[in-house]
Amino acid sequence: MCGIWTYHFPVKGSTIHGPGWKEGEAREVLVPGVWEQLPDKVNYRGQVVARKVFTTSERGAARLVFKGVSHTCRVFLDGVEMGGHHNAYTPFHIDVPDLAEGDHELLLWISNEHGELSALHIPNDYYTYGGISRPVELHLLASRTYIDRVQCTPRFEKDAWFADLEVCLHNLDIGPASARLKISLAGKEEALDLECAPGSSSVRMSMEMQDIQPWGPSRPKLYTLKATLQTLNGTDDWSDRIGFREVAISGNSLYLNGDAIFLKGVNRHEDHPDYGCAIPLEMIRKDLELLRRLGANAIRTSHYPNDERFLDLCDEMGFLVWEENHARGLYPGDLNPPQDMHPMKHPMFREQCRLCNEEMVNAHFNHPSIIIWGILNECDSCTEYGRSCYKEQFEQLRSLDASRPLTFASCHDGDPQLPNSDICQDLPDICSWNYYHNWYSDWPVKEALETKLSLWNPLMDGKPYMISEFGGGGISGFRDPIRRAKWSEERQADVLDECLGVYLHHPRICGVFIWQFCDIRVDPAWAMKRPRTMNNKGIVDEHRRPKLAFETVRNHFQGSESGKGRL
């Protein structure tokens, strides 16, 4: 269902509700694609109806799968409202129990407006685009009882690999359905006869494997997991790729398949001047090639779940990923704001986070590249209310996936005895901090780090400790080799040189993530605070042209093979 869609813009000053949408301006957009790719819509914040006509050759059950629509949408099929979704960065689907043969009209009412629709898409230091930003799929179901997904947790025990599976099924009928489930993986076959209850159900099984090659950065071996569900009215099939690897924590170290690892990472936003957040697969691959050339082994999906095609490539190329839910800086500023001024008290905040976490983990569970789940970047981890939100979400993530460590990036690193400081460092498995000591202040990196460690080590309880953001701005092309003035490429390289010289060799640190991969567009509310109205902390510019800092980082990342656990 990718390809040319028509985006209908409302008549100026009106909104798009009801039949009025047809009077609007109609523009062709290649999907995945955001309307900001149209030069005259580059600043459009509003509503659009996206329209696609398609034809089916036979009648039957179907499933419409949307990998990402930015940021809020309602879905209409042949004039009937079928459902909707909030949040641009997680997939959702619409079941169509009985889709007739013939032509169909699919309409998506889409909004990228700020305000009551979304607690998570707020004016921010990145841009919220508008449109169908990730692929759309139409699945014609051979059976009204089908396989929703199979979640595989790899486990290494007594010198053997096991695949612990949860097979999630869905029965569209009102009565139970008898079915025969078959699973195949790495030469092993299992079969099971089931009674599938109406609605959603799941069945668990474990397979002991032979001759498995583990997945890891240097040898990212992938296996295809296949499942079929045979019922009286047809056979549904499903497949995905998995990798056998185990992530563990012991003391203040992070382990992959029993070896201590050090994460040499970069934060990456999904942003490009030609594509917005709807980055084509070839461009994603080019970003990852640049990161491989940099000598990075890890990527943080700041600050939202990423396109699954990015994760597929990370699986294939052996990158390690910290994937996080969608939130940045939901912090009230003063700690006793009026009820409606605390962004985490937006009426939809807790439900939209719950859904984002559930959709992120369920959709991306099998990616071996994801080794850490993160939440709530620089949100309110300083008040009892904020703590209740962090606690609730960590509990939810642990119930969805007990196999991966959890973290969140905090910037509230003042004196823990004072208000406005973080009170949540006991909650995550890994403690992660965003430091900009030698950019937003002139505090020398080593002195700042030792001061922070002396304050916070007792509260981090010996857990792994990462620097999840650090760096500085460099305006692409502003060279100043003598003065090395702020915002010059030389200064940015110096800032990163000082940080990496300390962080890569400190025994208490198990990973670093540079802020950030590329320069990005930001919301107008932030733009006037930043040169070029952009966030210029990329080590490449928005067109992926390396700055001086790129080589500085590469020398550090390539040169830090020494020392325990440096991958």
* Site residues (vs ligand ADA, CB under 6 A): 125, 302-303, 328, 377-378, 411, 434, 469, 515, 535, 537
Q: What are phi and psi of 533, to 5 degrees?
A: 50, 30
Closer Cβ to ligand ADA, 228 or 535, answer by number? 535
Closest C-alpha to 142, from 225, 57, 226, 233:
233
Structure tokens at 389: 């939100």
Closer Cβ to ligand ADA, 309 or 530, answer by number? 530
CB of 176 to ligand ADA, least distance (A): 49
CB of 40 to ligand ADA, least distance (A): 29
Is 391 in a helix, a strand, or coil? helix
Question: Which residues have CB under 8 Å from 304's CB, separation 6+?
Answer: 88, 89, 270, 324, 325, 326
| Torsion sign (Cα): 289, 291, 295, 296 | negative
Closer Cβ to ligand ADA, 143 or 536, answer by number? 536
Q: What are phi and psi of 258, to 5 degrees?
A: 85, -5
Closer Cβ to ligand ADA, 169 or 330, answer by number? 330
Closer Cβ to ligand ADA, 145 or 393, answer by number? 393
CB of 413 to ligand ADA, least distance (A): 11
Closer Cβ to ligand ADA, 272 or 537, answer by number? 537
Give the amino acid at 88.
A
Strand partners, 187: none
CB of 409 to ligand ADA, least distance (A): 6
Closer Cβ to ligand ADA, 327 or 567, answer by number? 327
Closer Cβ to ligand ADA, 303 or 463, answer by number? 303
CA distances from 358 to 372, 373, 398, 422, 426 (A): 15, 12, 11, 26, 23
Closer Cβ to ligand ADA, 70 or 516, answer by number? 516
CB of 306 to ligand ADA, least distance (A): 15
Closer Cβ to ligand ADA, 245 or 269, answer by number? 269
Question: Which residues have CB under 8 Å from 27's CB, separation 6+?
Answer: 6, 7, 9, 35, 38, 41
Question: Which residues have CB under 8 Å from 188's CB, separation 6+?
Answer: 207, 208, 209, 210
- Cα first-last separation, the chain: 41
Count of residues in the chain: 567
CB of 378 to ligand ADA, least distance (A): 5
CB of 75 to ligand ADA, least distance (A): 31
CB of 478 to ligand ADA, least distance (A): 17
CB of 412 to ligand ADA, least distance (A): 11
Q: DSSP class of residue 523?
A: -
Nearest residue to ligand ADA on Cβ basis: 125
CB of 475 to ligand ADA, least distance (A): 14
Closer Cβ to ligand ADA, 148 or 519, answer by number? 519
Q: What are phi and psi of 555, to 5 degrees?
A: -60, -40
CB of 521 to ligand ADA, least distance (A): 13
Q: What are phi and psi of 166, to 5 degrees?
A: -120, 115
Question: Which residues have CB under 8 Å from 250's CB, separation 6+?
Answer: none
Closer Cβ to ligand ADA, 106 or 263, answer by number? 263
CB of 124 to ligand ADA, least distance (A): 8
Question: Which residues have CB under 8 Å from 62's CB, separation 6+?
Answer: 56, 95, 96, 99, 138, 139, 140, 141
Within 10 A of 351 (CB to CB), how many other CB atoms are there?
12
Closer Cβ to ligand ADA, 112 or 535, answer by number? 535
- Which residue in the block uniquely carries the two structure tokens 């563990």? 248
Closer Cβ to ligand ADA, 262 or 304, answer by number? 304
Cβ atoms of 516 and 302 within 8 Å: the answer is: yes
Is 33 in a helix, a strand, or coil? strand
User: Which DSSP helix (H) or strand (E) runs through 349?
Assistant: helix 349-364
Per DSSP, the residues of 255-284 read EETTEEEBEEEEE----BTTTBT---HHHH
CA distances from 5 to 30, 64, 88, 191 (A): 6, 15, 18, 42
Please give the Cα distance from 12 to 432 (Å, whole number). 46
CB of 182 to ligand ADA, least distance (A): 46
